[in-house]
Amino acid sequence: MSDNTKIQAFCNKIKERLGVTDCRSFSGRVESIVALIDGLELGPKDCVFVSALASSDVIKAILACGVNPVLCDVTPDSLTVDHRALEAAVRHIIAGGQVYPRAAVLDNFCGMPFALRAVKNVCDRMGLILVEDCGECLGGVSDGVMCGAVGDYALISLGRSSVFGTGGSGSLIAVNDGTDFTAKIIGCDGGSYRHADDGYAEALLEAANGMDHVLSVSREAAAKVEDILSDSDFWLQRGSGRQKSSYGRVAIIGQSAGHAAAAVESFASAGLSDYVRRVHVHTKSCFKHGCGGFKNINNASAVAPRAFSVDLFGAIHAGKTEKLLGHIRYIAGHIHE
């Protein structure tokens, strides 16, 4: 089996798991977003709705395509996009009349799914193409359906912080809109986007076969994190009863910005800085046409300075889960507001 054939076999496994119509590989996350935006023929008069806590890669890719990103607020517990804020933002843009609502690229933040059915309902009523940015959430479930199986498209990461954790780069686009994917997205046949070298294709296939084991371990680790933090000044992001995280990452929220900063600094001192990152809310200054001027980002602005995320998938793949859990025990017992 050649490397490209192995890559296709890997894509087929993900396609079958999600029940989508197609799945194609790219060399990186930004490349896949740019290819998707280009394939959908979005331009400077179009806008794409994103969470105010979205990855900077998503914002950069949208801006690089000359398209306007629009910030939407998050729910205070799950830190995922609030479907009511999404609808309000769409109506705000329509009323402005300068640009046209076309798509929503919405992330399942730190492994926690957004309310898939509620968001899909808004997108269908408002005529938006829905792109699920699965990030660390492949394996998560919302409203009884798997993340990546509801939107018209889904972005799936292959990096260290994903369920696959190959140590390489790469991204997939899963397609669920019934169209011919290859005809819409140019250059996605594996020839232009090569990451099948040095055994990477073999590693992807092996990772796909071990996906359920990694998800099981990450959920066990997250349960331990929740137990460790139960009597501390920190707490975990929470979904509703219908949202089941993959626990690829867990977002930990402190009492204040200084409280969270002290915890993050302690991870660095313990040699664990690769597995922790601060949560940032995007500013409005870089957006055109007032698209970033929609001010309903109160929850995101309030929680972001107090939050940081811990990369469970990355720690599992590196064999550092127990060390990471040990340090979380340390911050729970020693770092107070």
Residue ending a domain, choose from 209, 238, 265 = 209
Q: What pLDDT is stored for residue 176 in this prediction?
A: 75
Q: What pLDDT is stored for residue 183 in this prediction?
A: 47
Same domain, yes or no, for 55 and 37? yes
Bigger pLDDT: 256 or 64?
256
For residue 262, give the amino acid letter: A
- Phi and psi, residue 107, nearest 5°: -90, 150
Q: Are 237 and 251 in contact (CB under 8 A)?
A: yes
Same domain, yes or no, for 44 and 121? yes
Same domain, yes or no, for 17 and 163? yes
Residue ending a domain, choose from 190, 209, 228 = 209
Q: What pLDDT is stored for residue 217 in this prediction?
A: 93
Residue ending a domain, choose from 160, 178, 209 = 209
Mean pLDDT on 56-78: 88
Extended beta strands in the chain, E state: 22-26, 46-51, 68-72, 100-107, 129-135, 141-142, 145-146, 153-157, 171-175, 235-236, 243-244, 249-253, 276-278, 307-311
Q: What pLDDT is stored for residue 192 in this prediction?
A: 39
Same domain, yes or no, for 114 and 237? no
Same domain, yes or no, for 149 and 25? yes
Q: What pLDDT is stored for residue 189 in this prediction?
A: 41
56-64 and 29-39 helices, crossing angle to 10°? 40
pTM, entire model: 0.89
Same domain, yes or no, for 142 and 56? yes
Is residue 190 predicted with pLDDT exceeding 70? Answer: no
Residues 6+ positions from 327 with CB-CB distance below 8 Å: 266, 267, 270, 272
Same domain, yes or no, for 16 and 93? yes
Is residue 295 predicted with pLDDT exceeding 70? Answer: no
- Domain CATH for 318: 3.90.1150.10
Domain count, the chain: 2
Bigger pLDDT: 27 or 277?
277
Q: Are 225 and 213 in contact (CB under 8 A)?
A: no
Same domain, yes or no, for 204 and 275? no
Q: What pLDDT is stored for residue 57 in this prediction?
A: 81
Is residue 202 predicted with pLDDT exceeding 50? Answer: yes
Is residue 239 predicted with pLDDT exceeding 60? Answer: yes
Structure confidence at residue 290 as a pLDDT band (50, 70, 90):
very low
For the chain, percent helix, then strand, then coil, each to nearest 5? 45, 20, 35
CA 158 to chain centre: 12
Q: What pLDDT is stored for residue 90 in this prediction?
A: 93
Domain with 57 in it: 3-209
Q: What pLDDT is stored for residue 177 in this prediction?
A: 65
Radius of gyration of the chain (CA): 19
| Rounded distance between C-alpha atoms, residue 316 and residue 323, angstroms | 10
- Domain CATH for 71: 3.40.640.10
Integer CA distances (angstroms), 327 to 53, 117, 162, in order:
26, 37, 22
Least-confidence region, from 15-29, 103-117, 215-229: 15-29
Bigger pLDDT: 124 or 286?
124
Same domain, yes or no, for 156 and 282? no
Same domain, yes or no, for 158 and 225? no
Mean per-residue pLDDT of the chain? 84
Q: What pLDDT is stored for residue 248 in this prediction?
A: 87
Q: How many CA atoms lie within 13 A of 2 on its CB side?
A: 5
Same domain, yes or no, for 180 and 302? no
Same domain, yes or no, for 167 and 305? no
Percent of the chain clearing pLDDT 90 (strictly above): 39
